[in-house]
Amino acid sequence: MLACLPEKGEKSPPWIVPLSVRRVRSEETKNEAGAKQAKGVLSAKKLPFSGKLKVLVGDSDYSARTFLGETCGDETDEAGKKKSDDLVGIVRSAGNRTFYHAPPEIASKKSVGHPIWYGEPFRLPDEETWGEPDEEEWTVWTTHRGKKRTVRLRGWHNTRMRGAKEYPMHEYPFTLIRADVLDKKGKPVFKRPMWLIVMGKRREEVSLVEVWEAYGQRVDLEHYFRFGKQKLLLNAYQTPDVEHEENWGQIVQLAYILLWLASGLVEDMPRPWEKSEPRGKEGVVSPGRTQRGFGGIISQCGTPAKAPKPRGYSPGRAKGEKPGTRKRHPVIKKGKKGKKLPVAA
């Protein structure tokens, strides 16, 4: 799922704008599918954000070089401009990884041997390898229950990650950010901090606080999956045909977009035990309240379809007809080679 996260206020409903949804095929990984999907959507010149600074947010699964190298890499368009010039990727990193500081500057360019691509190791679990941060900012974060938390953000510029032959990651430096959430006494709220990778040519135009807020808004995508499964039957459609399953994902996406377009037009109808939702500066209500009042808009619009008529009972299968057996497909297992699953006792 690739979606646009619209600008929102402090108490705005968790709306998203789905842009593309596709199935991860058997012969590819989710990183490869996500990179193709992002490149296809972001290269569309008809979209309103074409040619502007764009921020692509992803969770820790997309912090691999197979995704960052494809989206924030060195690919050029027809005009010779890099497609990743206007794209800044913000992804979360696992807390046990090892990155590298910027390589040391060499006075003589005629040095013998392989050029130095990486500096000293930057081990996330080992604080002694970090060094002094290049930038530090503080901000206030309000939880969904209204509690105020202090967030300390520290950034290290021009760090590197290990690459491969097809992904020269030493050519794509990034900013590494550590976020610590503190309570009123200055103690950590969570057991582990959050590490964020900010990669892109224009990454310095995004401040540390903006990076923190952008990644925090990614949780709205999880609200979409919860709402889609509970209210829009996203995972309730069962079929042996893959094409029909992909079409159903598109139908659910279109239904959600219709609700988003009507979020500022519907009338808020709370239950007797519920409170009215504040519309805020956007003037919209939540997806659940929008779906509840969407019937009023449909009744006013009407439909060009004719009323259904009874046609009797279906004749069923013709006598003597024998459908062929369904085509058998091999079982495809994705995972790391050599990794064995635990055996139940």
The residue that leads in pLDDT, 82 or 49, is 49
Residue type, 269: M
Q: What is the pLDDT of residues 156-209, one digit of tens each?
A: 999 999 988 888 999 999 999 999 999 988 899 999 999 999 999 999 999 999
Quote the number of domains for the chain. Answer: 1
CA–CA dist 35, 40 (Å, integer): 8
Q: Is 84 within the bounds of a domain?
A: yes
Give the pTM.
0.85
CA–CA dist 259, 285 (Å, integer): 10
- HEC readout, the chain: CEEECCCCCCCCCCCCEEEECCCCCCCCCHHHHHHHHHHHHHCCCCCCCCCCCEEEEECHHHCCHHHHHHHCCCCECCCCCECCCCEEEEEEECCCCEEECCCCCCCCCCCCCCCCCCCCEEECCCHHHCCCCCEEEEEEEECCCCCEEEEEEEEEEEEECCCCCCCCHHHCCEEEEEEEEECCCCCECCCCCEEEEEECCCHHHCCHHHHHHHHHCCHHHHHHHHHHHHCCCCCCCCCCCHHHHHHHHHHHHHHHHHHHHCCCCCCCCCCCCCCCCCCCCCCCCCHHHHHHHHHHHHHHHCCCCCCCCCCCCCCCCCCCCCCCCCCCCCCCCCCCCCCCCCCCC
Q: Is 282 within the bounds of a domain?
A: no
Q: Is 271 within the bounds of a domain?
A: no
Instruction: Label residue 212 exposed, middle or buried (CB < 10 Å: 0-12, 13-18, 19+).
Output: buried
Q: Is 166 within the bounds of a domain?
A: yes
pLDDT exceeds cutoff 70 at 106: no
**Could you tell me the residue range of the domain that residue 125 belongs to?**
2-104+115-227
Average pLDDT over residues 248-259: 95
Residue 316 pLDDT: 87
Residue type, 316: G
- Residue 105 has a CB neighbour count (10 Å cut-off) of 6
Query: Tokens 């206007």 correspond to what residue?
Result: 86
Q: Is 168 within the bounds of a domain?
A: yes
pLDDT exceeds cutoff 90 at 310: no
The residue that leads in pLDDT, 258 or 114, is 258
Percent residues over pLDDT 70 in the chain: 92
Question: Residues with Cβ < 8 Å from 202, sequence gap 6 or more?
Answer: 53, 85, 86, 88
- Residue 336 has a CB neighbour count (10 Å cut-off) of 5
Q: Name the residue among 172, 174, 173, 216 with its Cα closest to residue 194.
A: 216
Q: Is 62 within the bounds of a domain?
A: yes
Token pair of 72 as six digits: 């924030």
Q: Is 343 within the bounds of a domain?
A: no
Q: Is 138 within the bounds of a domain?
A: yes
Residue 107's pLDDT band, with cuts at 50, 70 and 90, is low
